[in-house]
Amino acid sequence: MKSIIVDDEAAARAITKQLCKKVEKIVIVEEFDNAIDAIKYLNNHTVDLIFLDIHMPTFSGFDFIQTLKNPPQIILTTSDKNFALDAFEYECVVDYLVKPITQERFAKAVARIKNTSTGTRTHAEEAISQGEETAAIGNDLYVNIDRRLVKINVPDIYVIEAKGDYIKIKAEDKNYVVHSTLKKIEEKLPSHLFLKVHRSYIINTTKIVDIEDNSVLIKQDVIPVSRANRKELMQRLNLL
């Protein structure tokens, strides 16, 4: 996949390039220290993927996205956690990486990239054909229900519950039962939104209503929180 890096910080560009070295399918063809030069480049070249910094002087990453008529897939890189929700407003945004980026987190982001340069099958079709029950693209999660790919809007999911060999996905408008495991779906979900709080539950932390000692209230569901996961949950919260 032909890719470019747009980041005003040379250290950040060097790190992204290093992270890409371990991913065979990504080829960095150019790098830019400002959005304007990147736009000029894209007027004459096509790429499959952009690693884009949000905070850049004069022209931010979001400004840059808005100039693109047919944006390729974009992985946002930033030192700021506060823009995650804004970022996923854009369909082309595959993932949102908070610096410093680890190899492990980078690998998760790369796993979400749709392979545009090598074929016509979608990432979801590819994943399902390989026996996976779920596949994530940007804001969408595709689940395999009765041999149909059903799309779920990820931010609408508020809780996922393990039920034997199945998982129950509860979303704003509907519930879905899928033959899969919590571990598999956890890998597909954006980690800044979702957290495993119990061996049988993953929650969307933005949907929490209130928290008691060992449980959280999400919508009208009381979800248990195990002692081991409580610390991470508390760290995620914006406590006064």
Please answer whether residues 38 and 29 qualify as being in contact, where contact means their C-beta atoms are separated by less than 8 angstroms. no
State the nearest-atom distance from the C-beta of 85 to another protein, in Å.
18
Q: How far apart are CA 228 and CA 226, in angstroms?
A: 5
Coarse DSSP helix, strand, coil percentages of the chain, rounded to the nearest 5 percent: 30, 35, 35
State the nearest-atom distance from the C-beta of 17 to another protein, in Å.
9
| Stretch touching another protein by CB under 8 A, among 10-18, 43-51, 171-179, 184-192 | 10-18
Q: In the structure encoding, which two tokens stand for residue 207, read together?
A: 């949907």
Among 5, 15, 160, 162, binds another protein (CB under 8 A): 15
Residues 48-107 that bind another protein (CB under 8 A): 55, 57, 79-80, 99-100, 102-103
Cα–Cα nearest to 79, from 157, 15, 144, 174 = 15
**DSSP output for 133-166:** SEEEETTEEEEEETTEEEEEEGGGEEEEEEETTE
Q: Determine, following the binding rule CB under 8 A, whether residue 10 of this chain makes contact with another protein.
A: yes
Q: Determine, following the binding rule CB under 8 A, whether residue 224 of this chain makes contact with another protein.
A: no
Q: Which is nearer to another protein, 130 or 238 (CB)?
A: 238
Binding site for another protein (CB under 8 A): 8-12, 14-15, 18-19, 22, 55, 57, 79-80, 99-100, 102-103
